[in-house]
Structure formats: C-alpha cells, structure tokens
Structure 1
Amino acid sequence: MVNSMTETRVTFACGDLSLEGVSSVPEGKGPFAAVVVCHPHPLYGGTMDNNVVIAVCRAVSQTSIASLRFNFRGVGGSQGGHADGVDEQDDVAAALSFLGSMETVDQARIGLCGYSFGAGIALEVAARDEQVKALALVSPMLSHPSPIESYVKPKLLLWGSQDLALPAADLKSFTEGLPEPKQYKVIPGADHSWRGYEDKVAPRVAAFFTETLKPSAQA
C-alpha cells in the first residue's frame, strides 16, 4: 500500500535570512516522527531537488515519517551566500527547529539525514544538537578525527562501491571502529551520484528511521 503525503513549499528564518524548503507530511493521525534531509554541495549543483534527497523524502513518507528538505543559504530561493560549510550548520539547526515546531511533528522523534556535503554538515550539527535522535549519512566524506567517532546515538552510513572518492577498504576500517549503535553498508554498483540506485539507498534510510524513531525510542 502506498501512503499519501502532502507536500508544502515553506520558508523559515535562519537569523536574518529566509530559507526555502518543502515539507512532506503523511496522511493520517499525527504527530509523526520527522526527518530533515540535507542536499549535496551547492557549488556542484546540489539543491533540495537532488535525486537522492527527493528519493529519501518519498521513502520515509511511505513509512509515515514526515520530512523537510531545504535549500542551503545562497541556493535557489534561499537568501545569503555559500559559506564553505560553516554557516550552513546554522541552516540545519534552523531547519530542525522549524520542523519541530510543526503541529504534525513529534518533537521527541526527529532525525537528520545528509548526502555528501550535506552529510558533513548534518554530522557537525547532530554531534551537538540534542533534538537529533538518529543520524543517516549517505556518501559522507569521513576522515580522522571526526565527530562521528564519538557519536553514540543511532547512525547509518551508506556508500556506493563505485564511489572513487571513498575506497572500500578505508571505509570498512573506519566504520568498524565506530561506537554502537551503528549500521553501515556499501551498495554494489553505485557511484557517488547514486543515479539508477535511488531505490537501493532510499529504502534503507527509511527503514533505519522507522526503527530508530519509533515511539518506544523516545528519550
């Protein structure tokens, strides 16, 4: 059965800036668990309309989880300019606050997902934001030291086997040393763009959040 959802174009404040986004809320009785999804690098064409971002939002909606995808500052209709991943952390914090303020969202069940550049920003925010209960990173660029090495909340890490920027041997060594709870998977055949593999990555993200943001997981 395919669950219906309502998509709404929204704007929210980040300091003096106005950022644009799209909220997706499942039909039915809330409040729902919810996830903020962060897009890849804006200087390389990354926006909230990225293939992976949209696929993840649609997949979580099928498991009755709401979502918010948004454009970082300087992208599309979002005000401001690119800030090399520094001020973008404020954008994510503002998105989390906006999502948590929605009447249809359960503030105790909020997750965060990022893809590529967005994964790096999401990790930095999750490491210090208590409202983030679970973290999913798609194609994150990780190196020692990293906040994820001390991140003890539920986390999911996904990569493609053909991602030339991320050698599989290095990923295995890195992820095995991370604290529990954790899930990680290298998807055969996928590269950094995930073109043609959206149906392999998005359902895994949705399943992870379904498990980690269920009502019994409230803290």
Structure 2
Amino acid sequence: MPEVIFPGPEGRLEGRYHPQKESDAPIAIVLHPHPQFGGTMNNKVVYNLHYAFYNMGFTVLRFNFRGVGRSQGEYDQGVGELSDAASALDYLQSMNNNSKHCWVAGFSFGAWIGMQLLMRRPEITGFVSVSPPANMYDFSFLAPCPASGLIINGTADRVAPPADTTSLVSKLKEQKGITITHEEIEGSGHFFEEPHMETMIDGVTGYVKRRLTESTR
C-alpha cells in the first residue's frame, strides 16, 4: 500500500492510500484515535477498518493527524484535526473524481472528528462511528445529522461508557430523514480486544454492504 504525503493546513500530512482499479469506486477516509494518548493511523481498529473498506471495493485513505508520525504541526484540541480531515478528503476526492459514494469512518476521537466532518461536507453519504466518546465531547452539533450511519461500541467500554453512547443514539434517532443503526458488541472494551475485533469488523462490513446494495437498487 503506497505511503503518501499530501498538503494539510499546517504542512504535510502522512497517509496510507489504497486505490481500487475501478475509477468510479466508492471512497472512504478512516480517522484515528486521540493523538495525545498514542493514537495513530496504525492503531489496530483503524487498520482493520481500512482493510474492511478496501475489501468491500472502496478506495481508502487513512492518515496521521498533525503532530503524529511524519505529519507536521502539533495537536490542536480537535479544531486543527478537523481541518486535517477536510484536507485528507480533498486529497482523496482529487484523485477519484468519478466516485459516487463517499464515506467517513472514525474510531474514538476519530469518530468525533468524523461526525464533525459530516456536518461540513454534504457529499458524505454514510458514516461509521466506532466507540464515539460521547462522555468526553459534545455531539450536539449533529442537529440535524445530515447522513445515515452506523454507531458501534462495546458493552464493557470503560473509556466511553455505553450509557452515553446509547443516549447519543437516542437523540440522533429522533431526527427525521436519516437512519441511525446502533450495534453493541457484547463484552467488548473500547479497543475491541480479541475476539471482539472480528465481530466488530463483521458488523461494519455487513452494514456498509447493505447500504451499498440499497443505493444500487
């Protein structure tokens, strides 16, 4: 998988880009967890999400937020990281002008950034939020949430307690015109330690495949 360097708001950003042969393949970006707690694009959940999307026929980009790995800049409380994600999507779109579907997937902090990107970019057709930290960050900006998506978390998550995630899902489900699917992985913690990783990825794959099938009918 080619390493890529592309321009971000604070200098270069480092990523991994995995193109399909088809020029009209759907595209997806995958966002990593908190940079100040060891989050990088090579996080296990992010890595597995990346390959799940690729194996479903997506052209995929994952990248390091500013100040992580070889990405320039420094941590910016989520504000700059949202700009980084927008730059990553710009880069991905510039290489894939014929793509009809655009998805964003994020894990933990990356899920929070991904949901904000959703609000900025009407071309995003679906999202996957894995272990969204609804106890740490305010998600009230999702009013209204502009696209349908999947929220998936573990029932034994101590970082982002399931009750907060359920509350977020309940608020989003009150909105008209979108469908929020919520899946809980029984017994899994925040990081989907084995054997839960495979279950989580199977859930994501099943959901995205259903959505892609519906869109082609």
Q: State the TM-score bracket (shorter-chain normalisation).
A: 0.7 to 0.9
2:35: which partner in 1? 42
TM normalised by structure 1 equals 0.87
1:125: which partner in 2? 117
The one-letter code matched in structure 2 to 1:40 is: P
Q: Secondary structure at the match of 2:45?
A: helix
The one-letter code matched in structure 2 to 1:191 is: G
The alpha-carbon distance between structure 1 residues 30 and 206, as it changes in their structure 2 partners (threshold 3 A), is farther
Structure 2 CA distance for aligned equivalents of residues 207 and 66 of structure 1 = 18
1:13: which partner in 2? 7
What stretches of structure 2 of length at least 5 have no aligned partner?
A: none
Structure 1 CA distance for aligned equivalents of residues 33 and 98 of structure 2 = 27
The alpha-carbon distance between structure 1 residues 32 and 215, as it changes in their structure 2 partners (threshold 3 A), is farther
The alpha-carbon distance between structure 1 residues 93 and 87, as it changes in their structure 2 partners (threshold 3 A), is same
Structure 1 CA distance for aligned equivalents of residues 167 and 78 of structure 2 = 26
The alpha-carbon distance between structure 1 residues 8 and 152, as it changes in their structure 2 partners (threshold 3 A), is same
The one-letter code matched in structure 1 to 2:25 is: F
Structure 2 CA distance for aligned equivalents of residues 164 and 122 of structure 1 = 21
1:176: which partner in 2? 170
Deviation at 1:135, TM superposition (A): 1.3
The alpha-carbon distance between structure 1 residues 213 and 91, as it changes in their structure 2 partners (threshold 3 A), is farther
Q: Quote the sequence identity (%).
A: 31
1:86 matched to 2:86:
no
Q: Secondary structure at the match of 2:27?
A: strand
2:148: which partner in 1? 154
Structure 2 CA distance for aligned equivalents of residues 14 and 214 of structure 1 = 34
1:71: which partner in 2? 64
The one-letter code matched in structure 2 to 1:60 is: F
The alpha-carbon distance between structure 1 residues 213 and 81, as it changes in their structure 2 partners (threshold 3 A), is farther
1:187 matched to 2:181:
no
1:141 matched to 2:133:
yes
The one-letter code matched in structure 2 to 1:216 is: S
**1:19–1:72 Cα contact (<8 Å) kept:** yes
Deviation at 1:170, TM superposition (A): 4.0
The one-letter code matched in structure 2 to 1:182 is: I
Q: Deviations over 1:152-176 (max 9, x none)?
A: 4111101111102344344334313
Structure 2 CA distance for aligned equivalents of residues 131 and 195 of structure 1 = 33
1:216: which partner in 2? 215
Structure 2 CA distance for aligned equivalents of residues 39 and 145 of structure 1 = 18
The alpha-carbon distance between structure 1 residues 169 and 215, as it changes in their structure 2 partners (threshold 3 A), is closer
Deviation at 1:189, TM superposition (A): 1.4
**1:40–1:115 Cα contact (<8 Å) kept:** yes
The one-letter code matched in structure 2 to 1:141 is: P
Q: CA RMSD in A?
A: 2.2
Deviates more, 1:39-48 or 1:165-174: 165-174
The one-letter code matched in structure 2 to 1:121 is: I
Deviates more, 1:123-132 or 1:83-92: 123-132
What stretches of structure 1 of length at least 5 have no aligned partner?
A: 1-6
The one-letter code matched in structure 1 to 2:30 is: V
Q: Secondary structure at the match of 1:84?
A: coil
1:3: which partner in 2? none
Deviation at 1:12, TM superposition (A): 0.9
Q: Deviations over 1:93-147 (max 9, x none)?
A: 00111111114x6443111011001111111111121121111100001266522
